[in-house]
Amino acid sequence: MFTVTDKAAQALYQFLQSEGKEDHALRIVAQEGGCSCCGPAYGLFLEKEMAPGDTVIQAGPIKIFLDQMSSTLLSEAKLDYMDGPEQGFFIDNPKAQAERSEGSQGCGCGH
């Protein structure tokens, strides 16, 4: 199941408050074929309404919407947040890491 760390939930909540969008959720879209050696590509968007068939993840005061394909691709992943010079949200996806370790020692495709 997709999870959200407490740190990511708090950072997202603070962001939504600063934008005046506390009534929005974060939609995460995962698409296969983003990179042949590193796994899926991800997109993050703010949305007010869920779509039919969405999985809704509640993490403290925030909601995450995942469509059916994204839910499958992110079934073992988690959303986290990093402070510091490279501050921001990131997705830790063991499925993508497993694919990468089987195929190559790192991303060499240039994507």
- Here the CATH number for the domain that contains residue 48 is 2.60.300.12
Does 68 map to a domain?
A: yes
Does 66 map to a domain?
A: yes
Does 39 map to a domain?
A: yes
Half-sphere exposure of 67 (CA within 13 A, CB side): 11
Does 110 map to a domain?
A: no
Domain total of the chain: 1
Contact yes or no for 35/107 (Cβ under 8 A) = yes
Write the secondary structure of the chain as one string of H (helix), E (strand) and C (coil).
Answer: CCEECHHHHHHHHHHHHHCCCCCCEEEEEEEEEEECCCEEEEEEEEECCCCCCCEEEEECCEEEEECHHHHHHCCCCEEEEECCCCCEEEEECHHHHHHHHHHCCCCCCCC
Range of the domain at 71: 3-102
Q: Tens-digit pLDDT profile for the chain (111 aa)?
A: 899 999 999 999 999 999 999 999 999 999 876 555 566 889 999 999 999 999 999 999 999 999 999 999 999 999 999 998 889 999 998 877 655 444 444 455 554
pTM value is: 0.80
Does 9 map to a domain?
A: yes
Does 108 map to a domain?
A: no
Nearest to 73 by CA among 50, 96, 47: 96
What pLDDT is recorded for position 34? 55
Does 109 map to a domain?
A: no
Does 94 map to a domain?
A: yes
